[in-house]
A and B are shown apart, each in its own frame.
With several copies, the nearest count.
Chain A
Amino acid sequence: MNLVATMATDLLEAKPVVNPITAWERVKLARHPDRPRTLDFIHELMTGFIELHGDRVHGDDRALIGGLARFGGRTVMVLGHQKGGDTKENLERNFGMARPEGYRKAARLLRHAEKFNLPVLTLIDTPGAEPGVGSEERGQATAIAESLLAMADLAVPTVAIVIGEGGSGGALAVGVADRILMLENAVYAVASPEACAAILWRDAARAPEAAATMRITAADLHGFGIVDEVVLEQVPAHERPRAAILAAGAALRAHLDGLIEEFPGDDDETRERLRDARFQKFRRIGAWREAAWRDSGLPLDGHAAG
């Protein structure tokens, strides 16, 4: 074959792991007000949780929380976006939209975890990072970038799980993990379907169409090789929260155990190997082709060598 072509992932073989309900329906499930939230997972799955506060520079963000806890016989650092259960709590939690303080706290707690060789678990559930004058003034972009860097550089095992809404950079900021899990009715997207529809369809009301073409479901993202495991919800999590939480807990436990078995100890060599494996994981993500030069007379586009 004359064409040099690579694909990072093989879409053709990806199969939906669940019944075909629409992407937009999943968005509504992911945002359901009764869906279990980060603290519900922490309190059900962990013991001895001590929440740690503050970014040491400006404030404490209640929309992105973290602390130490016992999970599966280990001390872990757990981080996650926290939405509110009612209007009052949602105002306090800023609807789960973190500010720079949240990402700086995350970076601080990640360094803390590394210092004491504690594995990190992150729970993702946010519409996105807060857009606002104050957040811009205090460096929202820089804060997110530094949280990404802290996660990429981390020398301890990390498992992330999208439990509800995985919204854009504000979600990814705590998502650069060795394993990425997703609950079946969670979604994870580069932008909200409404925002995408407003830009590309010039009509936010066409969000359902946008949701479908954006490929934001757990099954899609598993197919793209981004998500390592989809945690099934026998019924939607808001109907039986405890079942979903326990299923998530079992999956988190299994992946964490696997990572620790693969990367035991905290010697320099193991740490480097772990960082390297994480890099390679993200290194592979993307879709591209390599074309031969035009002047070699070859066609510019070819078929994927799946």
Chain B
Amino acid sequence: MREFFQRRGKFRPRDVDQDGADIQIPEDLWVKCPRCQELVYSKELDHNARVCPKCGYHFRLRARDRIASLVDLDSFVEWDAELRPYDQLEFVDLAGPYAAKLKQTQAKSGEHEALISGWGTVEGRPIALAVCDFEFLGASMGSVFGEKLVRASERCVAGRLPLLTISASGGARMHEGLLSLMQMAKTVAALARLGRARVPHLALLTDPCYGGVTASYATIADIILAEPGAMIGFAGPRVIEQITKQKLPDGFQTAEFQLEHGMVDLIVPRFELRATIGQLIDLYERPSQQDSPNGVSAGDHREPAPVELGGHYGN
């Protein structure tokens, strides 16, 4: 099997504060699959798109790994990487000031914020991406997250570029108080404009996807995709159990549960995602092109192109 993508450590962002090396996972590490409990060789997992080869469990992906796994080689151009979170509230909790926590998190994650945005091509078709990095404070929705998403959306309106949002988030960022909550309104208002411009917004919900993200931009998309087994909801399962003292039903809040309850359009296994996105862009981008003389479209049943990944960041 081809390598699905290179190890995460190699997609080091260009402007990290600290060298990414200290958070690289050694290639010979064994990882325990949280679903089937089997041990999987880390390198094998990477070669398999971080999908458990034993049971199909989809491990979480870092934002840059996700982007690398989707876009054509060397095609991704990042936007607004210079935006930095800022502790306007002078928020201090048990762990100390938010400002210090930010520095720590930036160093540990190698990212400045929880959302990476930019554009690239998928099977040759341009698309904008806005991708959550759950390793950055649970991809909570702070001011920079909101601002980056809004700027991406504005570029999409201007350039008539379809937008793919890929979400995984614990919800709001409490350290930014109501400014964080307001990012729900801000991003929805921006995407409302994208909608009025009739530019498609595709959303991919990945594990875990909760709170402010699910209750704002992610679920008003034109097409809602989800990864198999992803946990998706408004309130987290522990909160619900604590408050209602109810045992939660089996499979509660999984992507499959959301499909059954009418909340998502389709569940796409990671291996098929690139092809599905390509096919969707294609459907929107050439709505009435004559593509064959005999009345049946040709070339719509593309074979998923070989997945070429990650190389442009380093290897």
Partner of A56, one of B192, B262, B286: B262
CB-CB contacts below 8 Å: B141-165 with A: 143-144, 146-147, 150
Asked if residues B215 and A53 are in contact (CB atoms below 8 Å), the reply is no
User: How far is it, in angstroms, between the C-alpha of A127 and the C-alpha of B295 when the chains are bound?
Assistant: 32
Beyond A75-B284, A145-B188, 8 additional pairs, beta carbon < 8 A:
A60-B261, A71-B296, A133-B252, A190-B172, A190-B180, A214-B174, A291-B83, A291-B84
Which 8 A/B pairs are nearest by Cβ-Cβ distance?
A: A286-B143, A131-B235, A54-B262, A48-B300, A287-B88, A70-B297, A47-B300, A141-B214
Asked if residues B283 and A221 are in contact (CB atoms below 8 Å), the reply is no
Q: 1/0 contact trace for A103-130 toward B, CB 8 Å?
A: 0010000001001111000000000010
User: How far is it, in angstroms, between the C-alpha of A53 and the C-alpha of B153 when the chains are bound?
Assistant: 25
User: How far is it, in angstroms, between the C-alpha of A278 and the C-alpha of B182 when the chains are bound?
Assistant: 13
Chain A interface SS verdict (over half)? mixed
Q: Which residues of B contact A152 (CB under 8 A)?
A: 185, 188-189, 192
Number of interface residues of B (CB under 8 A): 97
Partner of A50, one of B85, B212, B283: B283
Residues of B within 8 A of A (CB): 14-15, 17, 82-95, 143-144, 146-147, 150, 172-174, 176-186, 188-193, 195-196, 198, 200, 211-212, 214-220, 222-223, 232-235, 239-240, 243-244, 246, 248-249, 252-253, 259-266, 276, 279-280, 282-284, 286-292, 295-298, 300-301
Chain B interface SS verdict (over half)? mixed
Asked if residues B259 and A60 are in contact (CB atoms below 8 Å), the reply is yes
Q: Which residues of A contact B243 (CB under 8 A)?
A: 131-132
Q: Which residues of B contact A50 (CB under 8 A)?
A: 266, 276, 279-280, 283
A45: interface (CB < 8 Å): yes
A22: interface (CB < 8 Å): no
Asked if residues A289 and B262 are in contact (CB atoms below 8 Å), the reply is no
Give A258 Cβ to nearest chain B Cβ, in Å: 14
A228: interface (CB < 8 Å): no
Q: Which residues of B contact A216 (CB under 8 A)?
A: 177-178
**Residue of B whose beta carbon sits closest to that of A292:** B82
* A70-B297, A141-B214 known; A54 vs B264 contact (CB < 8 Å): yes
A205: interface (CB < 8 Å): no
User: How far is it, in angstroms, between the C-alpha of A236 and the C-alpha of B148 when the chains are bound?
Assistant: 40
Number of interface residues of A (CB under 8 A): 101
Asked if residues A168 and B181 are in contact (CB atoms below 8 Å), the reply is yes
Asked if residues B93 and A139 are in contact (CB atoms below 8 Å), the reply is no
* A115-B195, A188-B178 known; A136 vs B234 contact (CB < 8 Å): yes
Give B292 Cβ to nearest chain A Cβ, in Å: 7
Subset of 5 A-B contacts with CB under 8 Å: A48-B279, A139-B262, A169-B234, A282-B186, A293-B14
Asked if residues B177 and A215 are in contact (CB atoms below 8 Å), the reply is yes
Asked if residues B215 and A169 are in contact (CB atoms below 8 Å), the reply is yes
Q: 1/0 contact trace for A27-55 toward B, CB 8 Å?
A: 00000000000000000011110111111
Q: Which residues of B contact A260 (CB under 8 A)?
A: 288
Give B67 Cβ to nearest chain A Cβ, in Å: 19
Asked if residues B82 and A293 are in contact (CB atoms below 8 Å), the reply is yes
Q: Which residues of A contact B179 (CB under 8 A)?
A: 224, 226, 285-287
Q: Which residues of B contact A133 (CB under 8 A)?
A: 240, 244, 246, 248-249, 252
User: How far is it, in angstroms, between the C-alpha of A199 and the C-alpha of B236 when the chains are bound?
Assistant: 13
Q: 1/0 contact trace for A206-217 toward B, CB 8 Å?
A: 000010011110
* A48-B283, A131-B239, A295-B15 known; A301 vs B177 contact (CB < 8 Å): no
Give A164 Cβ to nearest chain B Cβ, in Å: 16
Asked if residues B188 and A56 are in contact (CB atoms below 8 Å), the reply is no
User: How far is it, in angstroms, between the C-alpha of A200 and the C-alpha of B95 when the chains are bound?
Assistant: 8
* A116-B287, A145-B216, A278-B189 known; A288 vs B198 contact (CB < 8 Å): no
Q: 1/0 contact trace for A121-165 toward B, CB 8 Å?
A: 000000001011101111111101110110111000000000000
User: How far is it, in angstroms, between the C-alpha of A59 and the C-alpha of B295 when the chains are bound?
Assistant: 35
Q: Which residues of A contact B253 (CB under 8 A)?
A: 136
Q: Which residues of A contact B93 (CB under 8 A)?
A: 200-201, 210, 213
A290: interface (CB < 8 Å): yes
